């Protein structure tokens, strides 16, 4: 039987870990889940509801699938923006079978009315809905089968407090991965994709992948394409060229990341400046900057989030080749420049 992967979609799902051993890192979460799931199995009851948060591509969805696999449960997946009406969520909940896992991605985009249906469903396994309008409206209650809600979000601060408080199984923050962990993920993916790759190439991909497995896998595939088209071995030099072509620099910054930093330096004297203002100056979505760019820039120590807005650090000036910032913010005065009167 030939199982050669044929398209990117297939490749992505084939790279998703299907056992806990293949799921590299996040040891603290895995240890907690191990206890939670073992206890639930012994009680023959679905685990309590869980919330995972952290930047995209760190493995939240994969965790939900691993939990379903371990519990021998079916998983039904949806997302905050996909559930538009109360009727949508009512139909999802009433179609669950006992023990099912309901995975809701982008949970911060659930609207208030939907959240209000979820509270009693999560807390007491009841679906409360109101039928009709005005004085003739009546409320009905339907018991739901026992189920586990697993929600994932990139923006926990946007989740309402009542919703957050209902994840009895725990709220877990996924951390960025270490370079070593990303290296192991790249090595495994290269093996699955049957791509011969040198150690130095694995290290170079790991160094530039924003400490994020999904990005590491993407860069591996782009570097593989580059090696194939140029008929070159997949070594450090090939990875460097492939990523330079994608405008990914030595620190793994994209052109948008660099643009964010240089705009703050050029237009706002290094900050502080609000994220909305940065987004407008860049013609980017504010949420994209907050979800994708900021966490990595902060992790690298190039950007700081202060109560008054975002500020770039001296490291950012250095990385972009600017002269150091003066202590009061902005660029240092050039001693050779004549004062304009
Ligand atoms: P999220 O839901 O947080 O956006 P995903 O769970 O979809 O992230 O992960 C994206 C991809 O990254 C997965 O398909 C998988 O290939 C890879 N991945 C994520 N976490 C891990 C991990 N811990 N070990 C190995 N691969 C991982």
Number of domain units in the chain: 3
Question: Among the options 109, 208, 210, 214, which is catalytic?
Answer: 214
Provide mean pLDDT across the span 244-259: 97
Token pair, residue 73, equals 């449960």
List the domain range (segments joined by +) for residue 74: 26-173
Q: Are residues 214 and 273 in the same domain?
A: no
Sequence-distant (6+) residues with CB within 8 A of 190 are 196, 197, 202, 220, 224, 234
pTM (two decimals): 0.90
Q: Is 258 a catalytic residue?
A: no
Using the mean position of ligand 1's atoms as its centre, give its distance from the Cα of residue 60 in Å. 7
Give the rounded distance of the alpha carbon of 218 from its chain centre.
Answer: 14
Q: Is 291 a catalytic residue?
A: no
Q: Are residues 150 and 195 in the same domain?
A: no
Q: Are residues 168 and 273 in the same domain?
A: no
pLDDT tens-digit map of 272-328? 999 999 999 999 999 999 999 999 999 999 999 998 999 999 999 999 999 987 655
Q: Are residues 163 and 133 in the same domain?
A: yes
Question: Is 335 contained in some domain?
Answer: no
Q: The CATH number of the domain where 272 resides is what?
A: 1.10.10.10
Q: In the listed set 218, 245, 272, which residue is the last one of a domain according to the structure?
A: 245
Q: Is 41 a catalytic residue?
A: no
Using the mean position of ligand 1's atoms as its centre, give its distance from the Cα of residue 61 in Å. 7
pLDDT tens-digit map of 2-34? 344 444 444 567 899 999 999 999 999 999 999
Q: pLDDT at position 203, please?
A: 98
Give 171's strand partners: 51
Answer yes or no: is 308 a known binding residue. Answer: no
Q: Are residues 131 and 262 in the same domain?
A: no
Q: Are residues 224 and 274 in the same domain?
A: no
Q: Are residues 214 and 288 in the same domain?
A: no
Q: Are residues 136 and 85 in the same domain?
A: yes
Q: Are residues 115 and 39 in the same domain?
A: yes
Q: Are residues 96 and 47 in the same domain?
A: yes
Task: List, in sequence order, the alpha helices (H) in the chain.
Answer: 8-15, 27-42, 60-71, 86-94, 112-124, 161-164, 179-192, 199-208, 213-230, 236-245, 255-268, 275-282, 286-288, 294-299, 314-320
Q: Are residues 151 and 31 in the same domain?
A: yes
Q: Are residues 203 and 303 in the same domain?
A: no
Q: The CATH number of the domain where 187 resides is what?
A: 1.10.8.60
Report which protein residue has its CA nearest ligand 1's atom 21.
59
């Amino acid at each position: 039987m030939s199982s050669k992967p044929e398209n990117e979609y297939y490749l992505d799902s084939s790279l998703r870990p299907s056992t806990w051993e293949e799921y590299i890192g996040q040891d603290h979460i895995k240890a907690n889940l191990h206890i939670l799931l073992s206890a639930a199995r012994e009680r023959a009851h679905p685990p309590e509801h869980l919330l995972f948060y952290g930047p995209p591509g760190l493995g939240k969805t994969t965790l939900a699938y691993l939990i379903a696999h371990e519990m021998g449960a079916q998983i039904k997946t949806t997302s905050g923006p996909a559930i538009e009406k109360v009727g949508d969520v009512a139909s999802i909940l009433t179609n669950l079978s006992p023990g099912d896992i309901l995975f809701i991605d982008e949970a911060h985009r659930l609207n208030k009315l939907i959240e209000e249906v979820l509270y009693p469903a999560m807390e007491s396994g009841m679906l409360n809905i109101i039928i009709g309008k005005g004085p003739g409206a009546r409320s009905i209650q339907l018991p739901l089968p026992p189920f586990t809600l697993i929600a994932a979000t990139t923006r926990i601060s946007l989740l309402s407090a009542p919703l957050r408080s209902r994840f009895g199984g725990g709220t877990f923050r996924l951390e960025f991965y270490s370079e070593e962990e990303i290296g192991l993920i790249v090595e495994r993916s290269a093996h699955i994709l049957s791509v011969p790759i040198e150690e130095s190439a694995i290290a170079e991909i790991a160094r530039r992948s924003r400490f994020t497995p999904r990005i590491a896998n993407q860069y591996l595939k782009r570097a593989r394409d580059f090696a194939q088209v140029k008929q070159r071995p997949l070594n450090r030099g090939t990875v460097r060229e492939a990523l330079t072509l994608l405008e990914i620099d030595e620190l793994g910054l994209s052109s948008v990341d660099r643009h964010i930093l240089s705009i703050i330096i050029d237009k706002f004297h290094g900050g502080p400046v609000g994220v909305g203002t940065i987004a407008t100056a860049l013609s980017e979505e504010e949420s994209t900057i907050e979800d994708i760019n900021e966490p990595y820039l902060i992790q690298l120590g190039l950007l700081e989030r202060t109560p008054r807005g975002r500020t770039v650090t001296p490291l950012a000036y250095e990385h972009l080749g600017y002269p150091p910032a003066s202590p009061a913010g902005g660029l240092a005065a050039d001693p050779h420049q004549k004062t304009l009167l």
